Amino acid sequence: MPLLEHTDSGLYCRAADAWIDPSRPVRRALITHAHADHARPGCDEYWAVESSEGVLRQRLGREITLHAMPYGQQFWLNQACVSFHSAGHVLGSAQIRLCVEGEVWVVTGDYKRCADPSCEPFEVVPCDVLITEATFGLPIYSWEPGERVAEQIRAWWKGDQEHPSLLFCYSFGKAQRLMAELHAIGVEDEVLLHGAVETVTRSYRAAGVPMTPSRPVSTISSKDPLAGRLILAPPSAHRSAWMRRFRSPQTAFASGWMAVRGARRRRGYERGFVLSDHADWQGLIRTVLESGASTIYVTHGQNDVLSRFLRERHGLDARPLDQLS
């Protein structure tokens, strides 16, 4: 029997009696990070990285039973030795390492390999079996360094001082990375934040992540035209009533999906910046090879494409996760 198995609630480790990022309430949940599709409410107890605690409690409830662990510290759950290792995705993101009777499995969760000043860098974790994501599992996806994208954003923003600059991005992870990348290239202008972005940003500041100064846009007088100001907001705010606050803004979206021709126009933005918190094609392949795993399961995104490439080009036993039996 494999160390992990599919259940109606998600991946289950019988030896630990624990589910990884369960899709519904369970007794014991091992959480890779605090994004809503990985951390869901209602579980009896949660195990996660200590730097994710602020966001987890803000999203799941202050009173949850949470065992917050440092990166790399091994602990036992029944017959399984478990540890969390940095995934480089967002603040507190982790790969989960499970060792049972000498066999090691690693679940990457979401991860990236490029440098990011807002979270811990990715750690290569040797294993026998690797379960990797493939959100951007096509050769067309190849990321530029974050500082280069930050320079592009600064030029776009500073190039129009007559209007507000609305930059849409995910409220947890992407927005804080953008402020950290801007800070890293010397930008110290105050950035204005949508309420959803401001809430998560507090946890990043509490963790000591260096970012540009910021404050909620709601604290600015409604009579202020906000000309020349940079405002960060989640995609859900685009074309919403909230946007009526801004007079003739220029708009942009920061996402890895902006690498696809026509994506910006289809989503209704004037400009697109390619910045992702997931591994690109080369990052995915590099991670698989460096892990030393003899068996690879691929999930999310282009799992069939990446699996076939790993089999045909590298001779690895690679297959989509839904073939785990």
DSSP SS3 for 198: helix
Residue 289's CB: how many other CB atoms inside 10 A? 14
Predicted confidence at residue 102, as pLDDT, reads 97
What is the spatial distance between Cα 122 and Cα 51, in angstroms, rounded to a whole number? 15
Confidence band of 263 (pLDDT split at 50, 70, 90): confident
Mean pLDDT within 238-245: 91
pLDDT at 133 over 90: yes
Residue 235's CB: how many other CB atoms inside 10 A? 16
What are the distances in angstroms from CA 58 to CA 36, 43, 64, 178, 246?
A: 12, 15, 10, 21, 29
Between residues 291 and 267, which one has the greater pLDDT?
291
Asked if CATH classification 1.20.120 holds for the domain at 146-273, the reply, yes or no, is: no
Mean pLDDT within 296-319: 96
Question: For residues 315 and 307, is the Cβ–Cβ distance under 8 A?
Answer: no
Question: For residues 118 and 51, is the Cβ–Cβ distance under 8 A?
Answer: no
Question: What sign for the dihedral angle of Cα 40, 41, 44, 47?
Answer: positive
Among the listed residues 157, 51, 131, the one whose alpha carbon sits nearest the alpha carbon of residue 300: 131
Among the listed residues 123, 130, 133, the one whose alpha carbon sits nearest the alpha carbon of residue 84: 123
The domain limits of the chain are: 4-140+278-323, 146-273
DSSP SS3 for 210: coil
Mean pLDDT within 281-296: 98
**Nearest 5 degrees, angle CA 16-CA 18-CA 24?**
170
Cβ-Cβ contacts under 8 Å for 259 (sequence gap 6 or more): 140, 141, 142, 274
Strands 165-168 and 10-13: unpaired
Dihedral of the CA atoms 279, 318, 93, 137 (nearest 10)? 20
Predicted confidence at residue 162, as pLDDT, reads 97
> H helices of 159-300, where?
174-184, 195-206, 263-267, 281-291
Predicted confidence at residue 31, as pLDDT, reads 98
Confidence band of 307 (pLDDT split at 50, 70, 90): very high
> H helices of the chain, where?
53-60, 146-158, 174-184, 195-206, 263-267, 281-291, 303-314
Predicted confidence at residue 303, as pLDDT, reads 93
Mean pLDDT within 260-282: 90
Mean pLDDT within 214-243: 95
pLDDT at 101 over 80: yes
pLDDT at 92 over 80: yes
Cβ-Cβ contacts under 8 Å for 103 (sequence gap 6 or more): 3, 128, 129
Among the listed residues 283, 276, 292, 285, the one whose alpha carbon sits nearest the alpha carbon of residue 106: 292
DSSP state of 143: P
Mean pLDDT within 43-67: 97
Predicted confidence at residue 239, as pLDDT, reads 87
pLDDT at 267 over 90: no
DSSP SS3 for 127: coil
The chain-wide mean pLDDT, for the chain, equals 96
Predicted confidence at residue 151, as pLDDT, reads 98
Confidence band of 85 (pLDDT split at 50, 70, 90): very high
Mean pLDDT within 29-42: 97
Mean pLDDT within 58-73: 97
* CATH level 3 topology of 4-140+278-323: Metallo-beta-lactamase; Chain A (3.60.15)
What is the spatial distance between Cα 143 and Cα 147, in angstroms, rounded to a whole number? 11
